[in-house]
């Protein structure tokens, strides 16, 4: 039911109600809210089981059921996905009010919800992979919603291709697991787990390959390049995809196969380090961006790095906790940013904003709540979850802890920078001076999310949803260090960015995103050219020249040869006749 509602909505909108935009919007919102209500039911009652259909069943060899898994993890994700999704749908009603492609947008949004819920509910690798790809596709549609803009079309393509690379590794990982365990259903794999552990090298490779899928989808280094460009999509899309759901799918996958990963130390370490590098990278680049959404995009990359780091440190609880709180405050931040953008008539450069705290009061307040949660300021939710991860790192891997702490410092820095430049100080442009607050349909989701961003961290609240991690021996040093980092970051930001008209710091390396895009373009150009040349050579010389022209040429040649016997000349015939006689005599007499 949960799944079918958004799917039905997508189908109805695409097939029937394309012309009646408001109706489409309404259908979509109703569907997703319906899903949310169903999710709440499922969450409350622990005795619901779902139907199971057999889809592919090659007896004994390959069995892929369409079945759902309803354990604590998936229930929690259902709630997050449908809950935040509902809020974003409602917000979209306001944000996309005047957009000509509204029906298409809502249809795609519904399809995306369907796919994401499918990932959460899938009980076997193959089903999850199918929905995984579907999410990738719908995100392509959503990011490229304003496809008339070249940059948007390019960004959508880039997102799809980059996640596809990760998916390729993911698929190979699934095949490896299936080859050994004989089944793709998660529970069966757990049961047959001993078969894999006997071969640690194999296990490590399979684990890392499955991690590739997460690297792509959750925008880890080195496949993170698509996420900032994906800001070309409408802001609610950014909120949905990049804050709450799609990127969380990667972390969800990792937690699902945690039993696989935790059996291999190498895999764990790899994952932890990639998460850490990603976190640092995202934070560094974010300090130099001037588009309000890009700052948030790199912040997402950074926070996802934290989550992946937590998985690599063998604590699913910490990762899920951070995912839980992050969904709220990041979605909040994105939606609030969207509110700012709409209020300033689609202006996204922060250096053209300023002084909005007095004009967009509620937006400012909610943005501030989200910002404080992101920084990890107590008592907001982000503090608890980030603290949990840092404590984990402190205990298990000191270098990672140091980098994590540095990233926290940077996070505080760039978030404070953003708040300072966007909201405080004097207005820097006309649109900033004449801004007014957004309509209630956009404000109310903001307020709801702000509430959750504040409360979700408290143990009393979070305990109902998931297992809150406890690191008992950490003591007070980790939170203390975290708060110090936070204050230091905010303080430095104040120093630099108070009452500025232009960007005072210039770090080319960060601003140009560590030249990743240029590097990839160069790489692709060279490898692809080489491959294209090889393929062209094979095609021209071997296939065309050898096989096709070769056979025809041979036939022609043989024909020409035989043709020589057909001269009309009698004397030539006589000559051949004589030759034949000689041969005959030879054979008769000497054989």
Partner 1 sequence: MITLGHYLVVSGILFTIGFAGVMGRRNIIIILMALELMLNAANLSLVAFSRFHVDPSGAPNYNAQVFVFFIITVAAAEVAVGLAIVVALFRLRQTTHVEDITTLKF
By the criterion CB under 8 A, which residues form the site for partner 1?
563, 566-571, 574-575, 578
Of the pair 48, 567, the CB lying nearest partner 1 is at 567
Question: Of 191 and 574, which has the nearer Cβ to partner 1?
Answer: 574
DSSP-derived letter for residue 513 is G
Q: CA 120 to CA 249: how far, in whole Å?
A: 8
Query: Is 194 or 569 the residue whose CB approaches partner 1 more closely?
Result: 569
Closest by CA position to 414, among listed 530, 249, 298, 543: 298
DSSP β-ladder status, 53-58 and 62-66:
antiparallel
Least distance between partner 1 and beta carbon 582 (Å): 11
Task: Show the tokens assigned to 534.
Answer: 């090889």
How far is the C-alpha of 588 from the C-alpha of 591, rounded, in Å?
6
- Is the Cβ–Cβ distance between 88 and 331 less than 8 Å? yes
* Shortest Å distance, C-beta 539 to partner 1: 36
Q: What beta strand segments (E) does 60-126 contain?
A: 62-66
333: nearest Cα among 381, 379, 378: 381
Picking from 134, 133, 135, 130, the residue whose alpha carbon sits closest to that of residue 184 is: 130
Cβ at position 530, least distance to partner 1 in Å: 49
Cβ distance to partner 1 smaller for residue 53 or 565 = 565
Query: Which residue number, 198 or 569, has a Cβ lying nearer to partner 1?
Result: 569
* Residue at token pair 């043989």: 558
Angle at 60 between CA 56 and CA 65, to 5 degrees: 30
CB of 157 to partner 1, least distance (A): 59
Give, as one character, the DSSP assignment of residue 54.
E
CA distance 127 to 174: 11
- Min separation Cβ 578 and partner 1, Å: 6
Residues 359, 343: Cα–Cα separation, whole Å: 10
Shortest distance in whole angstroms from residue 572 CB to partner 1: 9
**CA contacts within 13 A on the Cβ side of 532:** 6
* Closest to partner 1 by CB, 15 or 564: 564
Which lies closer to partner 1 via its Cβ, residue 548 or residue 585? 585
Least distance to partner 1, CB of residue 573, Å: 10
Distance between CA atoms of residues 194 and 464, nearest Å: 33
Comparison of 60 and 568: residue with beta carbon closer to partner 1: 568
Our CB check for partner 1 shows the closer of 49 and 571 to be 571
* DSSP per-residue letters across 445-504: HHHHHHHHHHHTTSHHHHTTTSPPP--GGGTTHHHHHHHHHHHHHHHHHHHHHTT-SS--
Q: For the CB of residue 569, give the shortest distance to partner 1 in the complex, in Å.
A: 5
CB of 584 to partner 1, least distance (A): 15
């Amino acid at each position: 039911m949960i799944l079918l509602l958004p799917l039905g909505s997508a189908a109805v909108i695409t097939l029937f109600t394309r012309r009646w935009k408001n109706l489409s919007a309404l259908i979509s919102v109703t569907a997703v809210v319906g899903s949310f209500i169903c999710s709440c039911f499922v969450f409350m009652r622990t005795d619901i089981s779902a139907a199971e259909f057999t889809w592919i069943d090659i007896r004994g060899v390959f069995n892929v059921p369409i079945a759902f898994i309803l354990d604590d993890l998936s229930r929690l994700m259902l709630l997050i996905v449908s809950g935040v999704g509902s809020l974003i749908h409602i917000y979209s009603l306001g944000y996309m009010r005047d957009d000509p492609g509204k029906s298409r947008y809502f249809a795609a949004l519904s399809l995306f919800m369907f796919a994401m819920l499918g990932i959460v509910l899938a009980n076997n690798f193959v089903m999850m992979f199918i929905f995984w790809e579907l999410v990738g596709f719908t995100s392509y549609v959503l990011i490229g919603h304003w496809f008339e803009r070249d940059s948007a079309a390019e960004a959508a393509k880039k997102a799809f291709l980059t996640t596809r690379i990760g998916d390729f590794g993911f698929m190979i990982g699934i095949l490896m697991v299936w080859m050994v365990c004989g089944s793709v259903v998660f529970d069966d794999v757990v049961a047959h787990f001993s078969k894999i552990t006997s071969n640690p090298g194999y296990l490590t490779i399979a684990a890392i390959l499955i991690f590739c899928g997460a690297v792509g989808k959750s925008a880890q280094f080195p496949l993170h390049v698509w996420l900032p460009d994906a800001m070309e999509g409408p802001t609610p899309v950014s909120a949905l995809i990049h804050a709450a759901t799609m990127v969380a799918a990667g972390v969800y996958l990792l937690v699902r196969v945690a039993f696989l990963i935790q059996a291999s130390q190498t895999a764990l370490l790899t994952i932890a380090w990639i998460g850490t590098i990603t976190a640092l990278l995202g934070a560094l680049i974010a300090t130099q961006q001037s588009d309000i959404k890009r700052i948030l995009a790199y912040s997402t990359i950074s926070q996802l790095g934290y989550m992946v780091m937590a998985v690599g440190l063998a604590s699913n609880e910490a990762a899920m906790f951070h995912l839980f709180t992050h969904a709220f405050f990041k979605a909040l931040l994105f939606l609030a940013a969207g509110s700012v953008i709409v209020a300033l008539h689609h202006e996204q450069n922060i250096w053209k904003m300023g002084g909005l705290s007095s004009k967009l009061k509620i937006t400012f307040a909610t943005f501030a709540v989200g910002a404080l949660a992101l920084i990890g300021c107590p008592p907001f939710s982000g503090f608890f979850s980030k603290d949990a991860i840092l404590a984990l790192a402190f205990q298990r891997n000191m270098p990672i802890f140091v980098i994590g702490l540095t990233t926290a410092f940077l996070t505080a820095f760039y978030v404070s920078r953003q708040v300072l430049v966007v909201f405080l100080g004097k207005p820097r442009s006309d649109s900033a001076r004449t801004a007014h607050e957004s309509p209630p349909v956009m404000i109310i989701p903001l307020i709801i999310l702000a509430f959750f961003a504040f409360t979700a961290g408290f143990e009393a609240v979070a305990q109902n949803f998931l297992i809150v991690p406890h690191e008992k021996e950490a003591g007070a040093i980790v939170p203390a260090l975290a708060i110090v980092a936070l204050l230091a970051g905010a303080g430095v930001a104040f120093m630099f960015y108070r009452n500025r008209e232009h960007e005072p710091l210039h770090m080319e390396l960060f601003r140009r995103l560590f030249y990743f895009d240029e590097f990839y373009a160069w790489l692709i150009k060279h490898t692809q050219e080489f491959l294209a040349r090889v393929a062209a050579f094979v095609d021209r010389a071997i296939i065309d020249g050898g096989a096709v022209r070769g056979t025809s040429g041979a036939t022609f040649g043989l024909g020409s040869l035989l043709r020589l016997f057909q001269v009309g000349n009698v004397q030539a015939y006589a000559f051949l006749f004589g030759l034949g006689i000689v041969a005959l005599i030879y054979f008769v007499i000497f054989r």
